[in-house]
Amino acid sequence: MEILAFGVQADEKPLIERAFAGHHEVRCLDVFLNEDTAPIAAGYEAISTSVNADLGARVLELLAAGGTRMVAQRSTGFNNIDLDVAERLGMTVARVSYYSPYAVAEFAWALAMAVNRRIVRASTRTRDFDFRLDGLMGRDMYGRTAGVLGTGKIGEAFARIAHGFGMRLLGWDVAENPACMELGMRYVPKDQLLADSDLVSLHVPLMPETRHLIDAPALKAMRDDAILVNSSRGGLIDTAALVAELREGRFTGVGLDVYEAEAGLFFLDKSLEAIEDDTLARLVTFPNVLVTSHQAYYTVDAVGQIVDATVQNVLDYTEGRRSENVLVPRS
């Protein structure tokens, strides 16, 4: 069987081809799955998609009409997939339930330190042989407080790094993580965490109940000099509300690897086009904001694990097995 893989990055392609070798043929495309590209999948029983694929009702119906019976998403998140429609159409949908949490946690810390120590501004200056230190002063992390919203595997990895810096730890989650508590983390209500933290990092999944978890009141609750980092899902933050706070001169720094309207933008070269998203265009102009294009997971270790799990998901489908990665069918 030949698998059609959408949204494959250049660095990712050899890993995918190598992993599928000896199992199934794979055709890699750099285009992302949406309503316009879905017809390409006609005749392919199984496809693989990236995190920014459109797997809403209309796209799933087009895929099913073309003979697609299995979707293997190369990500942990699946908020882009209409699971009810997939089940109604009799499709199998699988995701990657686990990959290196260190990739994302380490990148979240890279964002935090970059905005704290003004690394991007300093690098731009030195390229112009401007070696002044004005405006580059940061803060020690030692002795300060890190607030971790979501203390699963990635949140725990982030907390361990914070512990290594000598920071106090506050946590918020639906369930307490004993490993985080052993590090000295104290679980508190969200508003208290936001009010008491010098650094706030988001590590919760995007679900209806977590959408705009960081809304206007939550942003108001944060310290004026706090650092905010989001390497999870863009929809966790009300970006318009964040821009409004930034216009007031608030926050030492904001590091965002995700953006709530990133589909159709991230992973693509838009450098020669006018950006119609006024919120994003305004966001990137703030000197204390660093935006990257959903690359926190993008290490050879994590991507290798994602690809291997995706291959296994396809093999499980073809050989009639189920695993914890299967989202549909639900039973």
Tell me the catalytic residues.
233, 262, 294
CA 212 to each of CA 92, 182, 242, 252: distance values in angstroms, whole numbers, following the listed order: 30, 30, 11, 21
Q: Are 169 and 200 in contact (CB under 8 A)?
A: no
**CA–CA dist 103, 157 (Å, integer):** 9
What b-and-e string marks burial along 47-73, b requiring 16 or more CB atoms within 10 Å of the CB? bbbbbbbbbeeebbbbbbebebebbbb
Kindly give the residue spans of alpha helices, DSSP state H, lying in 49-189.
57-65, 83-88, 101-116, 119-127, 153-165, 178-182
Cα torsion for 128, 281, 104, 145, to the nearest 10°? 80
Q: Rounded CA gap, 138 and 291, in Å?
A: 19
Collapsed DSSP state (helix, strand, coil) of residue 209: coil
CA distances from 112 to 53, 80, 105 (A): 28, 27, 11
Q: How far is CA 4 from CA 51, 95, 264, in A?
A: 15, 16, 20
Give φ, ψ of 18 to 5 degrees: -65, -40
DSSP string, 37-51: TGGGGTT-SEEEE-T
Q: DSSP secondary structure string, 266-280? A: TTS--TTS----HHH
